[in-house]
Amino acid sequence: MSTKSKIEKPIIAGCINKMKLELPAHSLNESFARSTVAAFASSINPTLDEINDIKTAVSEAVTNCVVHAYNNTKPLSQSIEIIKIECELYETHINISISDTGRGIKDIENAMQPFVTTRADEERSGMGFTVMQSFMDSLNVQSREGSGTTITMQKFFTKETSNKVKQA
Amino acid sequence: MHLKTRLHQNVLYISLDGELDHHSAEYTRQHLDNLMGQSRAAQIIIDLANLKFMDSTGIGVLIGRYKKMKDRNVPIYISNPSSQAERIFKMTGLYSIMPKIS
């Protein structure tokens, strides 16, 4: 006998598409993560700038998971922690949530300041959160030390993009 | 990431072709250091016309190279950044140490 897998949440009204992605926190997957979210958003034909903004913000968030949350330098042969990416696409905006179960952020406010990095020795710029904030329309960071971080970002599309969806 | 170089009138042109992110940073860093280390050029121009993607990791890579070449008094310039890269450069003030040239 087979059991049907349950859909966790009903699809929210107005939501065009929904995606859940789980990937091992290898740096190799950073490119895949940002390209996949960009492809997900592409279905409503956003402007190239909108796509690139989303791509950059996702890249920053996923890199934070690999570098800071898990500090992953393990070879591919070893099992590894997971990064979860959830996206919801609406005709007016996209919601993106990226979470890890890594070490968490002690002082979020400080971590979000420009040029703040805990890894200056590795030539990290400390601009990840600043880039996310400036390329997206909203950014929310929730974190608990020792149990992980979830960031949620929102990007609103231009009227031209939204209108194209309405006419489609 | 592919790096192409050309030496012309004592200027070393380095063209970055590919995506500069955390994954490709280490490779890019090492290659830039090799190319710049061997060079006797008076100036270096990093051409980004073929750079398809860059996030803030790229800033760390560029500032690191700036610091190394500063000791040798060799200025580095940026040319042909994408609009996305340009926004990150302006946000971080990179152009104050690596001016943009056309």
What CATH number has the domain bearing residue A77? 3.30.565.10
Which structure tokens are listed for A42?
Answer: 């592409």
Is A5 a member of any domain? no
Task: Kindly state the DSSP code that residue A93 receives in the 8-state scheme.
Answer: E
Q: Which residues in chain B have their CB less than 8 angstroms from residue A52's CB?
A: 82-84
Question: Between A27, A127, A130, which is nearest B22 by CB?
Answer: A27
pLDDT at A2 exceeding the cut of 60: no
pLDDT band at residue A119 using 50, 70 and 90 as cut-offs:
confident
Taking the CA atoms of A119, B53, A157 and A11 in sequence, report the sign of the dihedral they define. Answer: negative
Instruction: Judge: B60–A67 Cβ closer than 8 Å, yes or no.
Output: no
Domain of residue A146, residue span: 17-162
**B65 and B98 in contact (C-beta within 8 Å)?**
no
* A133–B contact, CB cutoff 8 A: no
Mean pLDDT of A89-98: 96
pLDDT at A167 exceeding the cut of 80: no
Question: Between B22, B25, B55, which is nearest A56 by CB?
Answer: B55
Distance in angstroms (rounded) separating the CA atoms of residues B83 and B93: 15
Structurally, at CATH architecture level, domain B2-96 sits in 2-Layer Sandwich (3.30)
As for how many domains chain A has, the answer is: 1
Mean pLDDT of A136-152: 96
Active site residue ranges of A: 60, 64, 124
Q: Which residues in chain B have their CB less than 8 angstroms from residue A55's CB?
A: 53
Please give the full DSSP string across A125-143, using - where no structure is assigned. -S-HHHHHHHHSSEEEEEE
Is A30 a member of any domain? yes
Residue of B nearest to A25 (CA): B23
- The residue that leads in pLDDT, B102 or A76, is B102
Q: pLDDT tens digit string along B4-18?
A: 999 999 999 999 999
In 3D space, the residue among B102, B30, B33, B100 whose CA is nearest the CA of residue B72 turns out to be B33
Contacts of B64 (CB under 8 A, 6+ apart): A123, B29
Give CA torsion, residues A107, A108, A114, A119, to 10 deg: 60
> What's residue A3's pLDDT?
56
Its pTM stands at 0.91
Is A9 a member of any domain? no
- To the nearest whole angstrom, how far is the Cα of B5 from the nearest Cα of chain A? 24
Is A7 a member of any domain? no
**Residue of A29, A35, A52, A56 for testing the chain B interface, max B β-carbons within 10 Å:** A56
pLDDT band at residue B68 using 50, 70 and 90 as cut-offs:
very high
Instruction: Judge: B60–A125 Cβ closer than 8 Å, yes or no.
Output: yes
Give CA torsion, residues A44, A48, A53, A57, to 10 deg: 70
Instruction: Judge: A127–B92 Cβ closer than 8 Å, yes or no.
Output: yes
* Phi-psi category of residue B54: left, alpha or beta, with phi > 0 → left and psi -120 to 50 → alpha: beta
CB atoms within 10 A of CB B97: 14
Domain locations along chain B? 2-96
